[in-house]
Structure 1
């Protein structure tokens, strides 16, 4: 599925997984969503939201009724109930840490943060700006003021605090961040030349971390790989905690008038293939460091 703003909080992944499992069982049994909603004793709209992975209540009683109707195996029934338990546990925890920054969040961005927090591997292909997880506070401030000139200084500061809090991910064991960038990202002057010099120095220091890999496509590269697809982010996830179900990756594209989350396997695989094509023309991590070093000296 491809959506603008959508589900929120830490239960995003088990909700998506539960929705896919219910859809698979329902289609196998030959039921319509309307018929399934009557079995679960909820409205057709609520049942549709469950299959779409949106936030809505689902009880074990309703899931057992659906499992009976769908002639689910014992293993399939346990998986549904395990996923429901994961949803409840995540909801009871009060959501993600970013709730404290609700006043600084753009509408729908909490879904992005939930995916970022749940991922164990994030690939960011950027053609114009430094990825948020690698931005200095001054670079982020220049971008924020340019895009939101009517914001109060207090809201801008809260947004910058949120950005710095997100970067703690780079220190989390098992997390990997892969930044694929055009050289233009480092050549654009955001804020001032001194802001950019500090930004490139910061990226150089971050590239030493085992969790971070930065690779750059130089301006001399004649194959325009990645320019047609535009910037995007790929999220990959570890198995869910209780059910051990492997969540498929999600692609994200930021738009001027709305963001896009891509979840259909066939569509996400296109972005995964494009990321691989970009890697093939990008400089190696060490050669990318050399290029950043030259630019920082300039």
Structure 2
């Protein structure tokens, strides 16, 4: 359901750290959270290497521990260059590290300024902020910057592939009181989001349980149209659709619930952006970037791929079930 549903049906029963939603080269990365997140991790590494606590850092900046956490998580935080220099003094960094930290900070500031000038500082989706759950703002920033998404879905079609009719039906079921005006705005948001599929440099790998195809949303005609759309979109070079049939053998990957792995392009500046796992929950979302978590989910994806139908057989199955709905 993603941005359309404030109370998602699915959640991942894991034991990972939950992050509450955070609130190219310069032109390419305008409005992106990538520099802030990378810079924040850089500062966290310096603090941990120095053996400094959050309390020590907050006292040095004359702020709260929560503010330091927000800074290290890459969330919007007021920080001046003198404050940063004071923090680097506390961490007792070498001249070369100090220089690198200040250069990274200037890169973050340049991109923030460019974003403000272009009017994209908050992201185009902010115009629809009243139509999605708070945590989804952070996801949209990640999805907008990502160049490769791998998603595993157990019950519903991924938002990037949903037809307007299918999406409308979900909203009508989950939020029966939604106004027609809000409905229109949510469908408009979805359409703008799906424009990413027209970008040849963006790749989407979708692993769908057969249950997604069989789980009828309202009207059989809606499902027929949705499956026809899946078959059509899956013929694009940048979209891969594979179905995990009911007959698939059980393995680690199949046991995982729905999730999305987001991967990002290499940056020209000296910042490295690691992959992020997004898992939507009933009351928020998990954003996982720890190495062990990424490895675990990559292993899960490989396991699912081993038992999923190939792309051709998947497209045939989708078309076959679409005909069943049309009968």
TM-score for the superposition, normalised by structure 2:
0.83
CA contact (8 A) 2:253 2:302 kept: no
Say whether residues 1:148 and 2:175 are aligned partners: yes
Give the drift of 1:227: 4.2
| Aligned: 1:3 with 2:33 | no
Kindly indicate whether residue 38 of structure 2 is the aligned counterpart of residue 22 of structure 1.
no
Matched, 1:279 2:300: no
Deviations 1:206-243 (A, max 9, x none): 11211111011112223255443211111111234533
1:49 aligns with 2:74: no
In the alignment, what sits opposite 2:9?
A: none
Q: CA deviation at 1:75?
A: 4.8
User: 1:101 touches 1:158 (CA, 8 Å); kept in 2?
Assistant: yes
Compared CA separation, residues 5 and 32, structure 1 to 2 (3 A): closer
Sort the Cα spacing of 1:189 and 1:45 in 2 relative to 1 into closer, same or farther, 3 A: closer
Question: How many angstroms does 1:106 deviate by?
Answer: 2.1
Of 201, 208, 217, 2:235 maps to: 208
Tell me how far 1:253 sits from its aligned partner. Answer: 1.4
**Residue in 2 that maps onto 1:163:** 190
**Matching residue within 244, 255, 276 for 1:250:** 276
Q: Cα distance, 1:15 vs. partner?
A: 2.2
Question: Shift of residue 42 of structure 1?
Answer: 3.5
Cα shift at 1:142? 0.4
1:66 to 1:208, Cα distance in 2 relative to 1, 3 A:
same
Partner SS, residue 67 of structure 2: helix
Matches within 5 A, 1:32-43: 32-43=53-64
The 1:44/1:145 distance shift into structure 2, 3 A limit, reads same
Counterparts of 1:195 and 1:7 in 2: how far apart (Å)?
Answer: 35
Alignment of 1:56-67 (within 5 A): 56-67=77-88
Which residue is 2:296 aligned to? 270
Contact 2:251-2:304 within 8 A present in 1 as well = no
Q: Distance in 2 between matches of 1:193 and 1:50?
A: 49
Do the aligned partners of 1:249 and 1:263 also contact (CA within 8 Å) in 2?
A: yes
Q: CA deviation at 1:41?
A: 4.1
**Is 1:179 matched with 2:194?**
no
Change (3 A) 1:79 1:3: farther
Tell me the SS of whatever aligns to 1:214.
Answer: strand
Q: CA deviation at 1:280?
A: 1.1
CA distance, structure 1, for counterparts of residue 155 and residue 229 of structure 2 = 17
Q: Aligned in 2, Cα 1:26/1:109: closer, same or farther, shift over 3 Å?
A: same
Residue 177 of structure 1 aligns to a residue whose secondary structure is: strand
Confirm or deny: 8 A CA contact 1:101 1:162 kept in the other structure: yes
Q: What stretches of structure 2 of length at least 5 have no aligned partner?
A: 1-15, 24-29
Describe the superposition over 1:137-181 as per-residue Cα deviations: whole angstroms up to 9, x where unpaired.
000000111111121111111111111111011112311111101
- The aligned counterpart of 1:218 is 245
Q: What SS class does the counterpart of residue 88 from structure 2 fall into?
A: helix
* Structure 2 residue 286 is matched with structure 1 residue 260: yes
Query: Could you give the per-residue CA deviations for residues 29-83 of structure 1, whole angstroms, max 9, x where no partner exists?
Result: 2222222233334343322321233321122222223334434345533443344
1:61-100 alignment to 2 at 5 Å?
A: 61-88=82-109, 89-90=111-112, 92=116, 93-100=120-127
Alignment partners' CA distance in 1, 2:194 and 2:100: 34
Corresponding residue SS for 1:76: helix
Structure 1 partner of 2:7: none
- Residues 147/82 of structure 1: CA separation in 2 closer, same or farther (3 Å cut): farther
